[in-house]
Amino acid sequence: MASSRLESRTLSFSLMSCLFLVAVFTPPSSAARTPPSDSGKVSLALYYESLCPYSANFIVNYLVKLFEDDLISIVDLKLSPWGNAKLRSNDTFTCQHGPSECLLNTVEACAIEIWPALNDHFPFIYCVESLVYKHKYPQWESCYEKLGLDSKPIAECYSSGLGKELELQYAAETSALQPPHQYVPWVVVDGQPLYEDYENFLSYVCNAYNGTTALEACSKISLNTRKSSKSTHSVGCEGNMPAVLGRIGSTIKSWIRQMNLAIWM
């Protein structure tokens, strides 16, 4: 009897999780999905790596907000799962958080390729990153069942070498960034990196939107919430040693200035 109750609770939880993902990412009516005809969409690019906790936090708690209102209708979202991975000889590569991250980066790259529509691949990536966020990423394959997806196309993409080719393409895109990325997540709106203020990306999206159609979601967002100065605490997974040293140097200089002020007071 206790076993039956446990199985019933487990089934109910899985059903609730599936219904949540479907409710969040199911597109609204065709009229609501139609982008404004008098303006192009705002370009939003996310450069990330799958096991970086900052990347997972951004995807799960911030990026998902695009789908909660009508903002996704004005955004051209591009995901690039490479981050701070490093190219080695013979087109091999290593990842900042080890082989498991290389695996999931490639799996997510395959998902984007196999299911090119945003409403198809983002729920899967969101599901995987939710498990990363909860420190349960070894259970990532459960996302197939939760979303009713066939795992075979992703497995074939990975085993055939296509996934590796996709990752090398994302490596080239990430390497070509100007200015170069300093950490992940690295968020870019209409070609402009947001640096430490990436969590406030919705304000930048709304500010960049040139359409005449009034968006309720943007009307709720204050465009005066941008930070006036860059923070010195860690805001992402840093893989570029010069960037790390530069951040440390800035912190030391700030500390020295404060000490000098204290001495002269």
Q: Which residues contact 215 (CB under 8 A, 6 or more apart)?
A: 69, 70, 71, 74, 206, 209
The count of C-alpha atoms lying within 13 angstroms of the C-alpha of 189, restricted to the half-sphere facing its C-beta, is 19
The tally of domains found in the chain comes to: 1
pLDDT at 12: 47
- For residue 205, tell me if it sits in a domain: yes
**Within a domain: residue 32?**
no
Residue 134: inside a domain: yes
Q: Is residue 135 part of a domain?
A: yes
| Burial class (CB within 10 angstroms; exposed 0-12, middle 13-18, buried 19+) of 170 | buried
Strands (E), the chain: 42-48, 75-81, 86-87, 93-94, 186-189, 192-193
Report yes or no on 226 lying in a domain. Answer: no
Task: For residue 18, tell me if it sits in a domain.
Answer: no
Inform me whether the pLDDT recorded for 149 exceeds 50.
yes
Distance CA 73, CA 211 (A): 11
Can you read off the two tokens belonging to residue 148?
């009713």
In this structure, is residue 189 part of a structural domain?
A: yes
pLDDT tens digits along 12-23? 445 445 544 545
Q: Which CATH number fits the domain that encloses residue 191?
A: 3.40.30.10
State the average pLDDT for the chain. Answer: 81
* Reported pTM: 0.76
What pLDDT, on the 0 to 100 scale, is given for residue 222? 60
Percentage of residues in the chain having pLDDT higher than 70: 70
The one-letter amino acid code at 184 reads V
204-219 confidence digits (pLDDT tens): 999 999 887 767 888 8
Average pLDDT over residues 140-147: 98
Containing structural domain, residue 168: 42-209+249-263
Banded model confidence at residue 252, pLDDT cuts 50, 70, 90: very low
In a domain, 94, yes or no: yes
